[in-house]
Structure 1
Amino acid sequence: MNDPGKVDKMRLAYALGFVTLLAPLLALLLAFLTKNVLLSLFLGVLNGAWTLCLVTGTIFGAASGAFLNSTDYFVATMADRWDAGILMQVLVIGALIALITRMGGMRGLATLITKIAKGPRSAQVAIWLSGWIIFFDDYANALIIGPIMRTVCDKFRISREKLAFLVDSTAAPVAGIVLVSTWIGTEIVNINTGLSIAGITDMSAFGIFIETIPYRFYNILALFFVLATGLLLREYGPMAKAEMRARTTGQTIKPGSEVATEEDYDKDPEKAELKDDHGILTTSRKVHPPNIWNAIIPIAVLIISALVLFYTNGVSYIMAGEGIGILPNGQTITAELFTQMSFFEGLTYAYSSADASIVLFQAGLLACIVAIIMGFAQRIFTVKEGIETWAHGMKSMVFVCIVLILAWSIGSVISDLGTSYFISGIFSDSIPLWIVPALIFIIAALISFATGTAYGTMAILLPLCIPLAAVIGGGVINGEAVDPLFIVLCSSAVLTGAIFGDHCSPISDTTILSSMGSGCGLMDHVQTQIGYAMTIAVISVAAYLLIGLGLPIWIVLPIGAALCVAALLILGKKMPTWDPKTEKLLE
């Protein structure tokens, strides 16, 4: 049975045509031109709401209706359980960072890493490796790694734009392909929906997920590309300008940049003071001298409690009959089936069913409590001062929360306009078979970039592309797909194409959080990263074309990696190295 809401959106998309793209295009264009993210997103929401009102009313009535409907979108976003959980998660992570910094933990951690990292090359490799440690969630990755590595980057004059790129490139690309993460449940459920629509019974959603991993070209090549830039120390485009600015002037943050949060109190432990966003003194307490354990213990509490809570939260949902996950035999996970599994067998289903936004908020809050107790026990601050620091850290995240609310609101508007259906509908289906996976990747990348949501892109395209792949790949006979590999290829194209927008769209929450965590302006991050993301996307398209022509994966992946290196060698310029000991640039 068709979803009436889905049918209405498809009809609206076809009726409005190109108009459905105006809201996201307006927001993107204004963001690039004005560098004012809040204004750009707000006007994008207003434009989309006006278009929706215009469909059912007059021009004059639409003007007032657009304003009223825009406020409805804002309120609905904050009322949504998932979105509210993300906002609380952002606030408590900001509070945790402030507490750890106040206790000298960030400086202690940075001191350890700088002892290991001897220059910008090893520093960037350390950041890349750190991104793999927080493998289970892209939000947690973006919020934890960036703040820890700021001081390291400042020491070796690595720009905040490059730090944001390193962090962002190990967030969604990692979480999207690992077997235990907050992504896997959504991916498997959408694959299963496509299999059900296609009438395929001999393939499991989880099995397809596993088989798609080597074909997730954008994920794999993004991870390789960012490592290659660090090892080769070669940059091009806006990133090269940012790196040269940082190396030659020491300005790791672009002058005049709209930085979401920048703690004034992580500079000098002897002179630092806690100030609000306007430089007003809130407390004169000194930052504690470097103490690595004041960072390791709270962060360990955050990670371990998150891993435990992901499991317990997921189990509670499964036992309540609200689990997410498809067994290899095609059955939906139930409480009865789950109790028959071993711990490790049920781990993936528990993680898939967990409410990631609430779990990370709970883990962050627990880590904050531990940090306050540690600070009080060491006489670094009183309980009152600890709570003041906690509140100050949350306050520094308010700008990010507003950006997230606006980004989610424009996402809702775009969904109601049916923009994704219009984008997928403008491509003809009368194309050669070998081009289809590459074309699906392009469609997924366009939708995810325009909407800023990987999850939404997967939910739209997988139920469409899997049946399409089954039909044009030879059909389905007695529940068996004639060409199962073609279904795997098309599924992987959706899953990895969806990562593109999540990775570099200015209205993607992961992009926003990566820039915030790294202390980089959002548009500075987007403008420096998009050239690299486009390079990886073009190489990914080439990889899908080669696979479509029949080349085996063990040949295509090395070709993709070689093209990444070639792009850096041909387009890139070798960056000088800053030696903090001699305070000189080394060519």
Structure 2
Amino acid sequence: MSINNSLALIILLLGVLTAIFVGNSVNKTWLEQSYVFDTYQTDHGGHAYKYKGKEVIISKIVPYQQSPLKQANLSKLNEDPLLKEQWVEDTAHRIKLLKPAYHYGLWSLLPAFITIVLCLLTREPLTSLFSGIVMGSLMLGQYDLTDAVIIPNLAKEGTAALLLLYLWLLGGLLGIWSKTGAAQAFANYITLHFVRGPRSAKVISWLLGILFFQGGTMSTVLVGTSVRPLADKAKVSHEEMSYIVDSTASPIATIIAFNAWPAYVQALIFVPGVSFLATESARLNFFFSSIPFSFYAIFAVLGTLLLSINITTFSGKRIRDAHQRALTTGQLDAKGARPLSAKELQRCDVPSGYTPHVLEFILPLVTLISIAVFTFIFLGSPKINWAFGTALLLSAAIALAKGMSLTHVIDGFGNGLKGVVLASVILMLAVIIGSISKEIGGGLYLVSQLGEQLPFWLLPLILQLMTMVIAFSTGTSWGTYAIAFPLAMPLAWAVCQSQGLANPELFMMVCFATVLNGSVFGDQCSPISDTTILSAMTTGCDLMDHVKSQLIPATFAATCAASLWTLTVYLFA
């Protein structure tokens, strides 16, 4: 047994004992959490709000001072509150939903800490994630991992949708493209007409990353799936490709924000008494006005562009070494690497007598993108499952129409499932540990450590660092937004008012941008993030090689951004 594995085993055992101790002996710290909805009066004089296009009636509203869920009452608790949520009306006649949340202090970070440390020591994300889930379950007193933790989380609508998309639809599509040779035909066509070497292959990949600006998992999968064959043919290292794919996916979504992000985020940033955050339209305008301050996203996208044109000065030693390795030896992976994408997706297995055509790749891909974009325009959110499902059916239909047997099509589909099954399991475990981390209050604890007496110019930096840690620990940027924005924005306004800043709106925009961008950084670099896993999977890179090689250029971009945010508020706020 290696030293790293021995150390990992010791850490795991200590973690189990600590988790049991925390679950049985450490008291929960309860905090009031309030959520503001766009409520309105119904024809019957009651109150309601819209959720996913449907009217939800608020059954009972009590005065805030009478609520057992207000902070003054929660602070007195020695056990769990009797209510899970309650609608209240405050003294300014605002309707709010109170939901109590808790943390275990510093112990709340234990599952995420154990997971990340084990990932770095063992380079084995599957067992590391499972270990983190065990820690969190023990802290919650859930000793039946299967029935009490794993199955309920897998049964959630969002988790089931991820499993459907990334195992069945994505895996099946990649498998059929491999069977028909469509991906290879596309790579040959692009290589013949546009790619003149590794640099042009990377530039095309970067341009596709900009084009697919919907952000998150959608962009990651679309770009990674599209560029993998041409990049492999051009002998671009997998570390470079996974970095380009990952570092354009979410960062570009904060700059070209014509996607689902503003609608989601605006609901989290209401601050009582702040006129430019008072209405939904005002908050959307605030989001778009803050885009020029998304310094990290801008530097991240510029960093991938520089790498694409072979300027590796800011890319870090690991990426420079990977670049030289691929250039001199043709080896796309480091020695000892274990790519997430299985061998079934790394070879063409075209039946004899079948001639691949580039349109077999382009038509399903254009269909996929079109459905995603148009459903976003007309329905308000991209229907990714529809997009991938239609592309899968179209690919299969074209193959059958061209004479491929149904047996070969099903064989390609099955090989595609085999190719992504490991990554899909890792993805599911990442979702579960993110849910557990949120339940035990890891992010809530970190944000609660901030106070109003900070120097105003230091707050953006602290918000950035805090959200970076939360997102890195939980593997989710949107989850971090839900945790951080309702606390960070009121805090920023309180600091703004108490220290009499001359330009409060600019200060709030910078603080908003630090939370937005810090969450993107943490999500992008976390080994338990779905976009990190999918970037490695779709480009065929070893997960930990991707994490370690990406961390240096991303940290450089974050450092430059932090300097600009601090200077901006110090000089102009």
User: Which is worse superposed, 497-506 or 299-308?
Assistant: 299-308
> Structure 1 residue aligned with 2:123, among 31, 35, 38?
35
> Structure 2 residue aligned with 1:382, among 395, 405, 410?
405
Amino acid at match of 2:175: A
CA distance in 1, matches of 2:344, 2:425: 22
Match of 2:554 in 1: 533
User: Which is worse superposed, 91-100 or 196-205?
Assistant: 196-205
Match of 1:76 in 2: 152
Q: 1:476 to 1:196 in 2, by over 3 A?
A: farther
User: Which is worse superposed, 388-397 or 204-213?
Assistant: 388-397
CA distance in 2, matches of 1:287, 1:82: 42
Higher helix proportion: 1
CA distance in 2, matches of 1:209, 1:70: 41
Match of 1:257 in 2: 337
Which residues in structure 2 correspond to 1:288-303 (within 5 Å)?
Answer: 288-303=354-369
Q: 1:19 to 1:287 in 2, by over 3 A?
A: farther
The alpha-carbon deviation at position 496 of structure 1 amounts to 1.0
> Structure 2 residue aligned with 1:179, among 228, 243, 257?
257
Amino acid at match of 2:539: S
Secondary structure, counterpart of 1:44 in structure 2 = helix
Q: 1:375 to 1:465 in 2, by over 3 A?
A: same
Match of 1:222 in 2: 300
Match of 2:427 in 1: 404
CA distance in 2, matches of 1:217, 1:400: 32
CA distance in 2, matches of 1:289, 1:395: 24
Q: Summarize deviations over 1:213-247 as a string: whole Å, max 9, x none.
A: 11011111100111112224324322222222222
Match of 1:233 in 2: 311
User: Which is worse superposed, 407-416 or 180-189?
Assistant: 180-189
CA distance in 1, matches of 2:489, 2:244: 33
The alpha-carbon deviation at position 287 of structure 1 amounts to 8.9
CA distance in 1, matches of 2:208, 2:136: 39
Match of 2:442 in 1: 419
CA RMSD between the two structures: 2.7
Match of 2:278 in 1: 201
User: Which is worse superposed, 173-182 or 25-34?
Assistant: 173-182
CA distance in 1, matches of 2:441, 2:430: 17
> Structure 2 residue aligned with 1:50, among 131, 138, 159?
138
CA distance in 2, matches of 1:531, 1:171: 18
The alpha-carbon deviation at position 516 of structure 1 amounts to 0.5
Amino acid at match of 1:250: G
CA distance in 2, matches of 1:244, 1:436: 41
CA distance in 2, matches of 1:5, 1:296: 56
Match of 1:168 in 2: 246
Contact kept in structure 2, 1:411 and 1:452, CA below 8 Å = yes
Which residues in structure 2 correspond to 1:371-520 (within 5 Å)?
Answer: 371-379=395-403, 381-474=404-497, 483-520=504-541
Match of 2:27 in 1: none
Residue 102 of structure 1 pairs with residue 179 of structure 2: yes
Q: 1:257 to 1:475 in 2, by over 3 A?
A: same
Amino acid at match of 1:83: T
Q: 1:197 to 1:444 in 2, by over 3 A?
A: farther
The alpha-carbon deviation at position 265 of structure 1 amounts to 6.3
Amino acid at match of 2:322: A
The alpha-carbon deviation at position 510 of structure 1 amounts to 0.7
Q: Summarize deviations over 1:101-128 as a string: whole Å, max 9, x none.
A: 3222212221232231222222211110
Q: Summarize deviations over 1:370-417 as a string: whole Å, max 9, x none.
A: 1111111111x1233213322321232211111111111111111121
Report sequence identity in percent.
29
Amino acid at match of 2:166: V
| TM-score with structure 1 setting the length | 0.76
The alpha-carbon deviation at position 76 of structure 1 amounts to 2.2
Contact kept in structure 2, 1:10 and 1:418, CA below 8 Å = no
The alpha-carbon deviation at position 551 of structure 1 amounts to 5.8
Secondary structure, counterpart of 1:490 in structure 2 = helix
Residue 93 of structure 1 pairs with residue 167 of structure 2: no
The alpha-carbon deviation at position 38 of structure 1 amounts to 0.7
CA distance in 2, matches of 1:386, 1:138: 30
CA distance in 2, matches of 1:182, 1:226: 24
CA distance in 2, matches of 1:257, 1:178: 35
Q: 1:229 to 1:10 in 2, by over 3 A?
A: farther
The alpha-carbon deviation at position 311 of structure 1 amounts to 4.6
Mark the runs of 5 or more structure 1 residues left unpaired by the alignment: 54-64, 275-284, 315-349, 553-587
Match of 1:328 in 2: none
Amino acid at match of 1:473: C
Q: 1:241 to 1:482 in 2, by over 3 A?
A: closer
User: Which is worse superposed, 141-150 or 526-535?
Assistant: 141-150
The alpha-carbon deviation at position 306 of structure 1 amounts to 2.1
User: Which is worse superposed, 362-371 or 145-154?
Assistant: 145-154
User: Which is worse superposed, 394-403 or 173-182?
Assistant: 173-182
Q: Summarize deviations over 1:423-454 as a string: whole Å, max 9, x none.
A: 12334442211121122111111111111111
Amino acid at match of 1:307: V
The alpha-carbon deviation at position 260 of structure 1 amounts to 1.8
CA distance in 2, matches of 1:157, 1:502: 28
> Structure 1 residue aligned with 2:394, among 359, 370, 376?
370
Contact kept in structure 1, 2:205 and 2:245, CA below 8 Å = yes
Amino acid at match of 2:258: V
Secondary structure, counterpart of 2:309 in structure 1 = helix
| TM-score with structure 2 setting the length | 0.77
User: Which is worse superposed, 496-505 or 419-428?
Assistant: 419-428
Amino acid at match of 1:376: L
Amino acid at match of 1:302: L
CA distance in 1, matches of 2:148, 2:252: 35
Contact kept in structure 1, 2:318 and 2:549, CA below 8 Å = yes
User: Which is worse superposed, 424-433 or 448-457?
Assistant: 424-433
Amino acid at match of 2:366: A
Contact kept in structure 2, 1:86 and 1:361, CA below 8 Å = no
CA distance in 1, matches of 2:308, 2:120: 27
Residue 542 of structure 1 pairs with residue 566 of structure 2: no
Contact kept in structure 1, 2:456 and 2:499, CA below 8 Å = no
Contact kept in structure 2, 1:102 and 1:287, CA below 8 Å = no
Contact kept in structure 2, 1:217 and 1:543, CA below 8 Å = yes
Secondary structure, counterpart of 1:117 in structure 2 = coil
CA distance in 2, matches of 1:43, 1:187: 32
Amino acid at match of 2:339: V
- Aligned positions, number: 477
Contact kept in structure 2, 1:273 and 1:287, CA below 8 Å = no
Q: Summarize deviations over 1:40-96 as a string: whole Å, max 9, x none.
A: 00111111211222xxxxxxxxxxx43x14653221221111121122111202211
Amino acid at match of 2:449: I
Amino acid at match of 2:476: T
